[in-house]
Amino acid sequence: VTIKIEKSFEGHLRVEVKDTGMGISSEAKARLFKAFSQGDASTSRRFGGTGLGLLISKHLIELMGGAIHVESIPNEGSTFWFTLALKAGKGQVERARTESLPKTPVKQSDARILVAEDNAINQKVALSMLANGGYKATAVANGLEVLKALQDFQFDLILMDCQMPEMDGYEATRLIRSDEQFGHLNIPIIALTASAIKGDKEKCIAAGMNDYLSKPVAQRELIATLKKWLPSEESSLPVSSDTGKAS
């Protein structure tokens, strides 16, 4: 596998990944960037994978204003590349904080909350309640935007709607918990769901969420849950149990 990064033209960055593997047929290329699709139906059995990697890559690149492409010859290999329009940075790049380091306690009022909610009205309600509680919050509309936001900014807690387009809260949570590239392996994730089906809470905990709130959420209940899971100078982060309660 060869990886090449270069400036393609003024203000644009081109990243190329080339391999000498089995290659991809023209028919398979047409479905590569669709959910749960792989170049060869036998690939997942032989090499593993869910068929979501290229779809996620495509959406993240498009969210940054870029585009991804592929060229491939069966039995010779494939070349994937994308281009992004980026502004030149100034000064030194600050090294991102990683979750492998001890989490520094933050004041409740300094905590940054990421709200994942596809309904615009529900977004406004959640942001208003958080602002009234003295919290800084950012809203996104689906799981893919959650992953993009985590790569760009540091957050202290996620309020995650379970049912969203493009990528739901369950899948987004599983990816966050399993992939260090998002830098938030241990971030508290609170499920937000309108479902009252028995076993729904267990499904959220199994996906990697720490706690569960049913919609509509009262402000008092929301703030109490945030205080329970956000680290502070006075208390440490509670540990999730099988039922999602603090131990």
Range name among 23-37, 129-143, 190-204 with the lowest pLDDT average: 23-37
User: Is 172's pLDDT higher than 90?
Assistant: yes
What average pLDDT does the chain have?
78
**Domain match, 70 and 129 both:** no
In a domain, 246, yes or no: no
> Could you tell me if 75 and 20 lie in one domain?
yes
Please indicate, yes or no, whether residues 68 and 151 belong to a single structural domain of this protein. Answer: no
Q: Which residue range forms the structural domain that includes residue 189?
A: 108-229
Cα distance between residue 45 and residue 25, in whole Å: 19
Per-residue pLDDT reduced to its tens digit, 236-246: 444 444 434 33
- Predicted pLDDT of residue 63: 76
Element (H, E) at 43: helix 43-47
Same domain, yes or no: 225 and 113: yes
* 21 inside domain: yes
Rounded to 10 deg, the angle between the 143-152 and 53-63 helix axes is 60
Residue 44 belongs to some domain of the structure: yes
CA distance 225 to 75: 54
Number of domains observed in the structure of the chain: 2
User: What does the alpha-carbon distance between residue 243 and residue 246 come to, in Å, rounded to a whole number?
Assistant: 9
CA distance 182 to 46: 27
Task: Tell me, rounded to whole angstroms, the distance of Cα 67 from its chain centroid.
Answer: 19
Instruction: Note whether 37 and 129 are same-domain residues.
Output: no
Residue 26 sits in a domain of what CATH number?
Answer: 3.30.565.10
Q: Do residues 122 and 185 share a domain?
A: yes
Residue 188 sits in a domain whose CATH number is: 3.40.50.2300
The string of pLDDT tens digits covering residues 41-99 is 444 334 444 456 777 788 778 877 788 989 988 888 999 988 888 776 666 555 444 34
pLDDT at position 98? 39
76 & 135 share domain? no
Q: Are 6 and 51 part of one and the same domain?
A: yes
Q: How many CB atoms lie within 10 A of CB 10?
A: 6
Q: Which pLDDT does position 42 carry in this prediction?
A: 46
pLDDT of residue 46: 43
Do 43 and 76 lie in one domain? The reply is yes
Q: Let me know if residue 245 belongs to a domain.
A: no
Distance CA(53)–CA(61), nearest Å, equals: 12
Q: Judge whether 92 lies within some domain.
A: no
DSSP 124-187: HHHHHHHHHTT-EEEEESSHHHHHHHHHHS--SEEEEESS-SSS-HHHHHHHHHH-GGGS-TT-
pLDDT at 188 over 60: yes
144 and 74 share one domain: no
Considering the domain architecture, whether residues 123 and 81 belong to the same structural domain is answered as: no
Q: Is a pLDDT exceeding 70 seen at residue 219?
A: yes
Does residue 51 share a domain with residue 146? no
